[in-house]
Amino acid sequence: MSIGHFIDGKRVEGTSERRGDVFDPATGRRTTVVELASTADVDVAVQAAARAARAWRDASLARRSAVLFAFRELAHSRRDRLAEVITAEHGKVLADAAGEVQRGLEVIEYACGLPSALRGAFSENVSTEVDSYTIRQPLGVVAVISPFNFPVMVPLWFVPVAVACGNAVVLKPSEKDPSAALLLAEWFAEAGLPDGVLNVVNGDKEAVDALLEHPEVRAVSFVGSTPIARYVYQRATAAGKRVQALGGAKNHMVVLPDADLDLAADAAVNAGFGSAGERCMAISVLVAVEPVADALVERIAARVTGLRTGDGRRGCDMGPLVTAAHAATVRSYVDAGVAAGAVPVVDGRDVTPNGDPDGFWLGPTLFDRVTPDMSIYTDEIFGPVLSVVRVGSYDEAVDLVNASPYGNGTAIFTNDGGAARRYQHEVEVGMVGINVPIPVPMAYHSFGGWKSSLFGDLHAHGEDGVRFFTRGKVVTSRWLDPRHGGVNLGFPTQT
């Protein structure tokens, strides 16, 4: 039995013969296979969405909100089920999966109130007896392409907002953990969303390319690694589409000498090793402004040594990596760090997990004395590896952060308000935490990075999300009577 697609209101099989394996990362066992859609399968989904979009754009705001409220109730009452599905395919521990679901629910709640964000603007008498008003209209069919690391939250960054704005969606989740997206689509249908407004197509590059090229797809929201985000942005914009492509990250946490080192150490461990480092907002570099490094590394090491790595269903702190191949890649980065001369204060390669020996295990690794030329510093590892870089001053710290090609998230730990204010002003990063290590914006603000962490102009959800999924139109209107007659070829000006 394989996992198929959800098109036009029901689960369907596609025509493709190609399949991908889905694993339980904590046991290493293949649990199912997922269909990898062909271009023809994608076309079926997009055509269903195009048909549905024509009617859905005319559904009243009240009806759209009612569907979103009902969907919120279903997703909320079944949140434990969603968390279990996330843990079974991604591997993150159950408590972390529940947190992911909670952040996704917040976007649904934001979308329930979207009629107020969709209000236009009206100017009476822009000229005598002439009114002008702005309205925002849906785009039609939009594609959402999501990564493996947040199989619920990332689709929910986009789908509720797109649907509330009156669009129809084709969602292409990660082929590594496809089940949650299908549940969301089924529950949306149960909540009253008309058939075809939300479709899920499972697949890989072939499905993505088909979406990027399909003439009925008007916009693409993508989240994934930087090379693929860049590719998606270039290809889809060349095909005339509106694109927001969120990419990878290398997030720095700066610790100034006046910071509370115990609180900073707690934060570094939580943000570095939560979800086994497979978060785009994970802290992967700790910038210790001397003289704090020795004391900070000692505190972090004590905490990291106490972390329990194991099966996410067994109350552990940190789960496995998503696939055997990814675990091997991250392990090779640890090898490279040691070879380059970084000091492995805690070495995750030696871990004894509380779980099946065939799981995709790697324990938390803490490196000290990392320098910016090492691959553990330059590359996005996306695993439980925290690198400490020692610098001599605040200026050196901010220069280091700003030299990174990435600009997703960053944090500064300090009790000096002036220094924090300066950092927030000077740092070239899209999301900044002041004594907050993972500054993920709430749904009514917008999520997005700078530089190679986001290609496009608009960020996810909040005001930017509404702008992304709608087009502005300005109407100028006058109700004619005989006084308005007469020929005048001059350019219209207000009178």
Residues binding ligand NAD (CB under 6 A): 145-150, 154, 172, 174-175, 204-205, 208, 223-225, 228, 246-249, 280, 380, 382, 408, 449, 453
Tell me whether residue 260 or residue 428 sits nearer to ligand NAD (CB atom): 428
From the CB of 163, what's the least distance to ligand NAD, in Å? 20
* Six-digit token string for 405: 């090609």
From the CB of 68, what's the least distance to ligand NAD, in Å? 23
**Whose CA is closest to 150, among 220, 226, 97?**
97
Tell me whether residue 228 or residue 265 sits nearer to ligand NAD (CB atom): 228
| Choice among 112, 165, 280, 316 that is catalytic | 280
User: ∠ CA(269), CA(83), CA(331), 5° rounding?
Assistant: 45
Within 10 Å of residue 220's Cβ, how many Cβ atoms?
27
Tell me whether residue 247 or residue 348 sits nearer to ligand NAD (CB atom): 247
C-alpha to C-alpha distance for 198 and 23, rounded to whole angstroms: 26
DSSP assignment of 319-382 equals ---SSHHHHHHHHHHHHHHHHHT-EEEE-GGG---BS-TTS-----EEEES--TTSHHHHS---
Tell me whether residue 149 or residue 199 sits nearer to ligand NAD (CB atom): 149
* Residue 33 parent element (H or E): strand 29-35
Rounded to a whole number, what is the distance in angstroms from the first to the last CA of the chain? 71
Distances, alpha carbon 334 to alpha carbons 91, 208, 225, 237, in Å: 21, 32, 20, 37
CA 94 to chain centroid? 19
From the CB of 398, what's the least distance to ligand NAD, in Å? 22
Distances, alpha carbon 460 to alpha carbons 24, 444, 454, in Å: 30, 10, 10
Tell me whether residue 105 or residue 144 sits nearer to ligand NAD (CB atom): 144
Are the C-beta atoms of residues 374 and 368 closer than 8 Å to each other? Answer: no
From the CB of 272, what's the least distance to ligand NAD, in Å? 14
Place of tokens 């707690």: 266
CA 437 to chain centroid? 17
**Whose CA is closest to 197, among 115, 114, 243, 138?**
138
From the CB of 460, what's the least distance to ligand NAD, in Å? 7
Distances, alpha carbon 315 to alpha carbons 93, 95, 358, in Å: 7, 8, 19
Instruction: Respond yes or no: is residue 280 known to be catalytic.
Output: yes
From the CB of 381, what's the least distance to ligand NAD, in Å? 10
Tell me whether residue 148 or residue 187 sits nearer to ligand NAD (CB atom): 148
The 3-state DSSP class for residue 244 equals strand
**Whose CA is closest to 153, among 96, 227, 217, 211?**
96
Distances, alpha carbon 382 to alpha carbons 149, 442, 452, in Å: 10, 23, 16
From the CB of 393, what's the least distance to ligand NAD, in Å? 29
Tell me whether residue 141 or residue 292 sits nearer to ligand NAD (CB atom): 141
CB closest to ligand NAD, residue no: 224
From the CB of 145, what's the least distance to ligand NAD, in Å? 5
Dihedral sign (CA 244, 86, 28, 207): negative
Tell me whether residue 449 or residue 465 sits nearer to ligand NAD (CB atom): 449
Are the C-beta atoms of residues 434 and 144 closer than 8 Å to each other? Answer: no
* Residue 396 parent element (H or E): helix 394-403
C-alpha to C-alpha distance for 155 and 221, rounded to whole angstroms: 9
Tell me whether residue 201 or residue 261 sits nearer to ligand NAD (CB atom): 201
From the CB of 408, what's the least distance to ligand NAD, in Å? 5
Mind telling me the catalytic residues? 280
